[in-house]
Amino acid sequence: MRENQLLRALGQVDEVYITESAPRRRQPLLLRVAAAACLFAGLVGVFSLVQHGSQSIPLQLSSPGIRARYVKDDEALARLPRAAMYSSELISPSTGQPSRVLRGTVHNVQNLEIDFGEVKHYLAAAEIEVWKDIDRAAAADANITVLLPGPVLPAADDLFAQLDRGTEVLLLLHEYRSADVLQVEGRVLRLDELAEFGLFKGSAGLFLQTDAGLRFDVSSYPGLSETMSLEEIENYFRKIQ
């Protein structure tokens, strides 16, 4: 079997890498609690710095010179012209069918800055805990990352602003392959380096169950305007798939 061959070949790699990656023996709970208590004070100080910092995303398959990082300064993002921020056609096809329809719960959302040099694009990545794949018989149980067509700004009056942690969602998704790229200034960004999926057709691929009721882009689905629950939305997509 070819995968066995790769496993065998990997087994013979330099012992430095085997030692480096060896699982560390977990300490007893009492020691871990004590260590955590000792570190807590220091972490409190570091936390405030991290809040205003950023974390870069390694890009290995995209063109050199592109930089991607998570950004946390919502106020700075809010000052950007909004028309320039949302670019759904850039992150997923504008025609065809979604490759997956999933239900799950929002676990985390982080804004992204993609710096192509002269031009910067702002997107967001949502971590979703999936518990149902409506195209497939088997129940799903996994976390996925979904690229959103613009940054998520809590103060904004749009669907993305309601993607709070714990929100139940139904998502139409485009699964990224190597051919899915964002090309700017002659530089090519492989989207599968940012996320496993892109939201299909922007806000038209997003359905949320919020405390205030079901939220989705009604203008894209006028026939569903009376719909009250994600179950009804799910049934709708089951019928048309």
Partner 1 sequence: MDDEAIIDLYWDRDEKAIRETHNKFGRYCHSIAYNILQNRQDAEECVNDTWLRVWDAIPPQRPGRFLAFVGKITRNLALNRLEAYGAQKRGSGQNELIFDELAEVLPAPGHEARIVEEIVLTKVLNGFLAKLPPETRIIFMRRYWYLSTVREIARDLGVGESKVKMTLLRTRNALQQKLEEEGIVL
Query: What does the binding site for partner 1 look like in residue numbers (CB under 8 A)?
Result: 1-25, 58, 60-61, 107-108, 127, 142-145, 178, 190, 192-193, 195-196
Q: Tokens representing 161?
A: 């602003």
CA distance 183 to 36: 45
Shortest distance, CB of residue 152 to partner 1, whole angstroms? 16
| Minimum CB distance to partner 1 smaller for 198 or for 204 | 198
| Minimum CB distance to partner 1 smaller for 20 or for 157 | 20
Q: How far is CA 47 from CA 44, 66, 73, 230, in A?
A: 5, 28, 15, 37
| Minimum CB distance to partner 1 smaller for 16 or for 44 | 16
**111 in Cβ contact with 74 (< 8 Å):** yes
Q: How far is CA 140 from CA 101, 135, 190, in A?
A: 11, 10, 26
| Minimum CB distance to partner 1 smaller for 158 or for 196 | 196
Number of C-beta neighbours around residue 205 at 10 A: 26
Shortest distance, CB of residue 126 to partner 1, whole angstroms? 10
Shortest distance, CB of residue 104 to partner 1, whole angstroms? 12
